[in-house]
């Protein structure tokens, strides 16, 4: 069994759930990424595009910051580290799709498709994680620079 959680849910609908549907206490358990990780359940995260924008680093930020649109933090004990969130959107996402033998990490024998970021997401302040720019994309050996 694998869990593919809607991490963006916290940002986009956390305030509504807190104030109208679930209440404060139950909202602390929305998208229990860290709990699933502690239990050894394979996890990934999705953005539910086109419901929310396709932006993997924003999804990673949601898994780490757990902030609603108003800035309230829901369930800080369910937050992942930046390093863990990056794995969530790369190798672990590939694992849940049974594609980890071909994609998700740079290893001999796998496709070398990748993005080149303009900053190290592990070194930027958390509030900037979602806005780290993609400098280039490499697909099938071809490099596409972002202007």
Structure tokens at 57: 């680093």
Does 75 fall in a domain?
yes
**Distance between CA atoms of 132 and 70, rounded to whole angstroms?**
21
Q: Is residue 124 part of a domain?
A: no
97 domain residue, yes or no:
yes
Q: Closest by alpha carbon to 135, among 127, 143, 126?
A: 143
Residue 55, in any domain of the structure: yes
Burial classification of residue 38, based on how many CB atoms lie within 10 Å of its CB (0-12 exposed, 13-18 middle, 19 or more buried): exposed
The answer as to whether 117 is a domain residue is no
Q: What stretches of 17-75 show up as alpha helix (H) in DSSP? A: 23-27, 33-38, 56-65
Averaged pLDDT for residues 8-35: 97
DSSP bridge pairs for 117: 134
Instruction: Say if 126 falls within a structural domain.
Output: no
Instruction: Please check whether residue 118 lies inside any domain of the structure.
Output: no
Average pLDDT of the residues of the chain: 96
8 A C-beta contact, residue 10 and residue 74: yes
- Number of structural domains found in the chain: 1
Residue 106 in tokens: 């740079």
CA distances from 24 to 98, 113, 129 (A): 36, 42, 26
How high is the pLDDT of residue 147? 77
For residue 111, being part of any structural domain is answered with no
Cα–Cα nearest to 139, from 112, 102, 118, 104: 112
How many other C-beta atoms can be found within 10 angstroms of the C-beta atom of residue 127? 10
* CB contact at 8 A, 96 and 2: yes
Range of the domain at 44: 3-103
Tell me the pTM.
0.94
pLDDT tens digit sequence for 32-80: 999 999 999 999 999 989 999 999 999 999 999 999 999 999 999 999 9
């Amino acid at each position: 069994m694998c869990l593919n959680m809607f991490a963006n849910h916290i940002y986009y609908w956390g305030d509504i759930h807190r104030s109208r549907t679930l209440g404060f206490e139950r909202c602390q358990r929305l998208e229990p990424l860290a709990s699933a990780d502690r239990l050894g359940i394979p996890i990934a995260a999705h953005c539910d595009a086109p419901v929310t924008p396709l932006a993997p680093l924003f999804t990673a930020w949601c898994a780490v910051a757990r902030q609603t649109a108003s800035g309230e933090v829901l369930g800080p004990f369910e937050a992942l580290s930046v390093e863990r969130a990056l794995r969530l959107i790369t190798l672990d996402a590939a694992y849940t799709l049974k594609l980890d033998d071909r994609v998700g990490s740079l290893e001999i024998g796998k496709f070398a498709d990748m993005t080149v970021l303009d900053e190290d997401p592990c070194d930027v302040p958390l509030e900037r994680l979602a806005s780290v720019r993609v400098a280039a994309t490499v697909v099938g050996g071809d490099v596409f620079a972002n202007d």
